Amino acid sequence: MADKSMLALGIESSCDETAAAVVELPGRILSNVVHGQVEVHERYGGVVPELASRAHARHVQPVIAAALTQAGVTPGDLDCVAVTIGPGLIGGLLTGLAAAKGFALGAGLPLVGVHHMEGHLLSPFLDAGQPGFDFPFVALLVSGGHTLLLHARAFGEYLPLGQTRDDAVGEAFDKGARLLGLGYPGGPAIARLAEGGDPAAVHFPRALPEKKELDFSFSGLKTALRTFLARHPQGGIPPRDVAASYQEAIVDVLTSKSLAACRAVGERRLVVAGGVGANTRLREVIRARAAGAGIEVCFPSLALCTDNGAMIALAGLRRWRAGERGGVELDALARWPVERLLREKQPNA
Ligand code: KG4
Ligand code: ZN
């Protein structure tokens, strides 16, 4: 018997995107509406949590309505409502959760709470994705708040291999951009400036060599950029070369550690997801070096790297299919270590 189609509404509001989407298993996107907040935060050079919460509160209802209309579905067509419950900015999370609860109660639907990073992890499986690509794999999850290497053995079974000891890689881009006098968000701004720049013009440090460590550290890199700019106040080296070199230090470390992680656990498949996964140079370098090592790499499409509701809908659908149900008791978690989401036991330990 063919599977009845299973549909979820996914709601995301953990940072600075108010997003809602309708997705059908195994990963077909029927609609994907994202309302960004760049104009709210850009004059401050970073996300202001209070302003983010207010913007989510203003936009969450219209975004949900647009997602349903664009998908051509009514609440009665849905099987569940998936919502990001953490980790993230608590005001935004609570706003999305309250909207999700109201919607689910009104429509008589079950609610499924989703870990934001599980959403990113599954984002390459949305839409056509990469046919045939499945668990197990190594995942590099790189966003504004996280830098994580996981061994994703199966759905819901993710073994942490490495993470950042200080700044997340997205923060390294955002803080670096501020030092370079560029706008917010910093990642795309550095990437744009770096186009055509010489990535070997300045040697920035690569912390924690991968031979010993799968953890990351980016705070020293930011300090190195600050020191470099203080020593070269009048330029001399074109800004595009500085940006390209800074970006290259990040890309080099992410690539080396991802490949080392694949070697460490004997996987030949790598998923790279999260906002920084949209970086063109990272996609280029990882693809080239992975091909040389016989490793297949899977990225989400560019639009699905940054925060969206579709990835939350898919994670919710998979948890719903696995029997998870939530209701009005669901709470938001500003901090939610990925380890607590997971079955921690290593099958072979
Ligand atoms: O996943 P995401 O949208 O939100 C979080 O969960 O944090 O990631 C946002 C981060 C920001 O730090 C942003 O600067 C970075 O992703 N980012 C990029 C690019 N696009 C977004 N970093 C480097 N290159 C890009 N093209
Ligand atoms: Zn994210």
- CB of 138 closer than 8 Å to CB of 265: yes
Distance 348 CA to ligand 1 centre (A): 35
* CA atoms of 115 and 257, how far apart (whole Å): 24
The phi and psi torsions of 82 (rounded to 5 degrees) equal -105, 140
In a domain, 318, yes or no: yes
Tell me, yes or no, whether 197 and 272 share the same domain.
yes
Spatial CA neighbour of 300 closest among 162, 121, 83 = 121
Residue 141 is which amino acid?
Answer: L
What angle in degrees, to the nearest 10, is found between the helix axes of 239-265 and 186-194? 110
Q: What is the pLDDT of residue 159?
A: 92
Q: What is the mean pLDDT of residues 100-112?
A: 97
User: In this structure, are 321 and 287 located in the same domain?
Assistant: no
Residue 2 domain-assigned? no
Return the residue whose CA atom lies nearest to atom 23 of ligand 1: 187
Residues 204 and 69 placed together within one structural domain of the fold: no
In a domain, 347, yes or no: no
Q: Do residues 68 and 25 share a domain?
A: yes
Tell me: do 295 and 239 sit in the same domain.
yes
Does any domain span residue 129?
no
Which residues on adjacent β-strands are paired with residue 113? 83
Least confident of 18-22, 107-111, 234-238, 337-341: 337-341
Q: Which atom of ligand 1 is closest in space to residue 170's alpha carbon? A: 12
pTM across the whole model: 0.94
- Going by pLDDT thresholds of 50, 70 and 90, the confidence category of residue 236 is confident
Q: Which residue has the tokens 């993710």?
A: 158
Counted domains in the chain: 2
Clarify whether residues 118 and 158 are in a common domain.
no
22 and 94 belong to one structural domain? yes
Q: What is the pLDDT of residues 277-315, one digit of tens each?
A: 999 999 999 999 999 999 999 999 999 999 999 999 999
Atom of ligand 1 nearest to the CA of 17: 3
Domain edge (last residue) among 284, 299, 314: 299
Q: Find the ligand nearest to 281 CA.
A: 1
Tell me: pLDDT of 344 over 60. Answer: no
Same domain, residue pair 142 and 100: no
CA–centroid distance, 291 to ligand 1, in Å, is: 25
Q: Residue 211's pLDDT is what? A: 64
In this structure, is residue 128 part of a structural domain? no
- The pLDDT > 90 percentage for the chain reads 85
pLDDT above 70 (res 348)? no
Same domain, 143 and 290: yes
Judged by DSSP in three states, 319 sits in: helix
Average pLDDT, the chain: 93
> Coil, strand or helix: which one is 2?
coil
List pLDDT tens digits, range 30-82.
999 999 999 999 888 889 999 999 999 999 999 999 999 999 999 999 999 99
Q: What is the structure's pLDDT at 169?
A: 97
As beta bridge partners, residue 29 has 23
Residue 347 alpha carbon to ligand 1 centre in Å: 33
131 within domain boundaries: no
Judgement on whether residues 195 and 295 belong to the same structural domain of the protein: yes
Mutate to test the pocket of ligand 1, among 17, 116, 141, 143 (most ligand atoms within 8 A of CB): 143
Q: Are both 52 and 190 inside the same structural domain?
A: no
Here the CATH number for the domain that contains residue 153 is 3.30.420.40
If pLDDT is split at 50, 70 and 90, which confidence band does 341 have? low
Give domain status of residue 1, yes or no. Answer: no
Range of the domain at 326: 7-122+305-342
Work out which ligand 1 atom sits closest to the CA atom of 120: 1
Write the pLDDT tens digit of every residue in 171-219.
Answer: 999 999 999 999 889 999 999 999 999 999 999 999 987 667 899 999 9
Amino acid at 269: R
Q: Is the pLDDT of residue 349 over 70?
A: no
349 in a structural domain: no
Ligand 2 centroid–CA 273 distance in Å is 9
What string of H, E and C letters represents the secondary structure of the chain?
CCCCCCEEEEEECCCCEEEEEEEECCCEEEEEEEEECHHHHHHHCCCCHHHHHHHHHHHHHHHHHHHHHHHCCCHHHCCEEEEEEECCCHHHHHHHHHHHHHHHHHHCCCEEEEEHHHHHHHHHHCCCCCCCCCCCEEEEEECCCCEEEEEEEECCEEEEEEEECCCCHHHHHHHHHHHCCCCCCHHHHHHHHHCCCCCCCCCCCCCCCCCCCCCECCHHHHHHHHHHHHHCCCCCCCHHHHHHHHHHHHHHHHHHHHHHHHHHHCCCEEEEECHHHHCHHHHHHHHHHHHHCCCEEECCCHHHCCCCHHHHHHHHHHHHHCCCCECCCCCCCCCCCHHHHCCCCCCCC
Same domain, 201 and 317: no
Which of 306, 311, 336 is the best mutation target for the ligand 1 pocket, counting ligand atoms within 8 Å of the beta carbon and taking the most?
Answer: 306
- Between 273 and 232, the higher pLDDT residue: 273
- Residue 186 CA: nearest ligand 1 atom is 14
Q: Please state, in angstroms and rounded to a whole number, the distance separating the CA atoms of residues 184 and 144.
A: 12
In angstroms, the CA 332 to CA 14 distance is: 10
- For residue 168, the one-letter residue type is A
Q: Quote the pLDDT of residue 302.
A: 94
